[in-house]
A and B are shown apart, each in its own frame.
Chain A
Amino acid sequence: MLKRALAIITLLIIGYWLAQGLAGVPFGEDKMLVGQYYLDNVKQQTGAVNAVTAVVVNYRGFDTLGEVTVLFIASTGVGALLWRRKKERTAKTEGSIVLTTGTRLLFPFVMLFGAYIFIHGHLTPGGGFPGGATIATAFLLLYLAFITYEIPHRGFEVTEGLAGMSYVAVGLIGLAIGGYFLFDWIWQTWQFGWDNVGRLLSGGFIPIIYTIIGIKVGTELSGIIDNMLKEEVSE
């Protein structure tokens, strides 16, 4: 009781403190410093219509590379924590025909929609991370509907690694051509897509990087699901 009361009082104090801090920031007023630069120059400099993806992939590409690394470490960490010599799915109840057939029918659509999200990252909201998470959802569906389903591990792990390496490789090509890491060589040097901003084949290397990230995140999260759904089996 005392503990709970203390916790509530502490939270109230913290909340009041934060509210006081935010009260000095007016809502709905123009206070963009860097933001205005992004909005003014995003089309000419990156070819992306979606300013968020341009910031995330082009202007601040290192952040995204870091996020991809964090996800990779999370996946490796889960794998390391749950590593056992012999692991199997232990779920015993098979889903009903409605569940399994529904999953069969939905699986390709979820995959296609994930691909749609990451390929249109420079045009519409979304990008590599939501697209990859959508694709992982498709595999989660299979895991939940079929008690024996397993992802093809070897293929998935290799794909994940290759996708991560391709991201760095794209950055290194930029380093060789333009002089710094993650330089957008497709847009700046090749000038590819300059004449059709807003259509699919534009946006410099954003679609390429987002395809890579989508594949990487999709395989990675599926791997995490796989690790967490399996239990140790005594021999």
Chain B
Amino acid sequence: MSLLHLAILAPFIFAIIVPTLYKYIRKIHTGWFVFIVPVILFGYFSRFLPDIITGKTVLKTFAWIPTLHINFTAKIDGLGLLFALLITGIGALVVLYSIYYLSKEKEQLNTFYVYLLLFMGAMLGVVLSDNLIVLYMFWEFTSFSSFFLIGYWFDRERSRYGAQKSMLITVLGGLCLLGGIILLYIMSGTFSIGEMITNVDVIVNHDLFLFSMILFLLGAFTKSAQFPFYIWLPDAMEAPTPVSAYLHSATMVKAGIYLVARMTPIFAFDPTGTWVWLVGGIGIFTLFWGSFNAVKQTDLKAILAFSTVSQLGLIMSLLGVGAAAVHFELDENIYTVAIIAAVFHLINHATFKGSLFMVAGIVDHETGTRDIRKLGGLMSMMPVTFTIAFIGAFSMAGIPPFNGFLSKEMFFTGMVHVLQLDIFNMETFGVIFPVFAWIASVFTFVYSMILVWKTFGGKIQLEKLEKKPHEAPIGMLISPVILASLVVIIGLFPNGLLGRFIESIAHAILPTYEFEVHISHWHGWFTPELYMTIGVIGIGLLLYFTLSKWTKVYDLFPKKLTLNQMYDAFIPTLESGSSFFIKSHMTGFIRSYLAYIFVFFIGALSFTIWSTGAFRVETTNLAEIGVYEVILALLIIIGCVTIIFAKSRLTSIIALGSVGYTVSLFFVLFRAPDLALTQLVIETISVALFLLAFYHLPKNFRHKESRRFKLNNALISVGVGVVVTIIAIASYSTKLFDSISEYYVKHTYDPAGGENMVNVILVDFRGFDTLFEISVLAIAGIGIYGLIKLRLARRSEK
């Protein structure tokens, strides 16, 4: 186990001692201890940066279950390092922010930081694992630690609802992912992503390729809140704001993005173009749908949630379009710009969305509400918070000079290039990409403006606020200030070190290409991107100022057809459906269950006989039929009929006895003296027992049964009888080998020393049977004694 493995597991290890720290050191906020972990890890991972930029990768293997090809292989390349830095960097800022956000006295800090550390370790594991099974393990860790974090205030009904919803959806995706992983293993014989990439030809041409791809995408889309699985994300906003900032903007929701990017070197070679269309198409629609729905929200965090959905769709669509690069052989490959844009926007989104969530938390903390209808005019009271919100929102809207502008320009470039693509029907339908991208950007602009100006602009409504607002404490502001300054710094200096880092990340996504990143603010007058941006700002401003006039559009959508309504209806339907199913056949009557068993017996056996053609009659080996046997057979049949139709219990007992004695006569005829003896004795005792017991039982032997009831029973019982007869005849007619009885016959006297073969078998050759048969009899005796003697229930009643 190397230092790298220890670094990944460090949050887990530290999580063990957090409760102790919380219990014994109450004076210091537990967050301060936790804060050390991501800071050290961030420093540790930064040290890899020079190596990664020069194109090296770090690979460390720790054997876990080598016989199943499951090894904890940690791999650092550009993509992994980017996520590791995001997780630890933003993790440190979020922990710092949470120290001021969560009260030391009122909250259960130990559980909060344990969950947060579990999550951090799990995310590091996801992004740094080369082995897919290990990746999956950490993937599920993120699912359930996020479940705990969303349900942190577990006494609130909405928190529990949101936590359950996110759990159900992400675990559904996680299980699909596991299926995809197993299919990839079947195709390639390895769990290592690196080895799969070298075998990509075999995988791409395999029959299971498409299934595996779709299962992977289901995993990625549920985690990254793509359409139609985005519905859990807005409800996950019930979590504490640091959690929303960390999980639901910067890290966990990007696990799906990571997965898509990581698997691009395999799935992008898909010859049918399904990958490009699914990733790109669903991404671009999610972008549009998220931004469209964000405009109508009134809760700050809900706006941010839908905006996250939409921005994730943007990154996803860029990854999809960028995957087309491998099919498009040109000297100057224009699709690789989409990959660079995806990576760049991934970084930018983490910075501005993290800061915006923190701003929403500050506003909530200082005013007591997040409802934009109650807020307004906070600009003068909270100037620092306003500045951060301004920078974040303008970057999100794609306005220069912030970093969001740069990535949005590149996004437009990538989408416009789609028009030149002439594969996979892109020449006909490809036009939807730039069109949707532009419309979505307009909505993005509108909700970004709403976010800033409805909160901080306008008049203040003091009577609606619970608290008198004032600027947040300085500790709460540190983290968003750092993120906002990153927004500006990246916006001003996008090239250099960052550019080379992006090159190495893009190279990790498409290893067959060398990238050269040059990001600039100004592309010249004659590029479509410029006019698209001008159009976004122009139309966006127009829409923003006429907001009250056109928001009625949202009422046109039928409320019942929303995805949330469907989800909410689906879960109870599932429950009532399964309850109905159980109640329909679990009647509680023994008779029903017996009928199921018998019907299954008849069905399964007769189907087997019919399908294998097993039935045949062999007459050569049969014994002769004598007069005595026929008489005895008739006796048995008469006995059976009598029992069925008997009205009195005595008649039926006598008939049963007659059947028993006839059976013993059969034993006589068939040369079985011991059997005949035993059968006679046992039958006598049985009949005596029956008479004894029946004396105490009700006179009424039969209960009223309807004709239909009898008819069904008769059908079933005739079926059972016929099946048994057929099987008996068929199996007697197919003798596969001789009996082993020859041995017993020969050795009864020597060496066993007896003359009665049956008795010698019972006590000598197969004595164990007899031993346990005696035990059965003993147990039955004790049981009967117990039943008669122990009457505790009745005694206690008295």
A, B in one complex: no
Q: A residues near B, CB below 8 A? A: none
Q: B residues near A, CB below 8 A? A: none
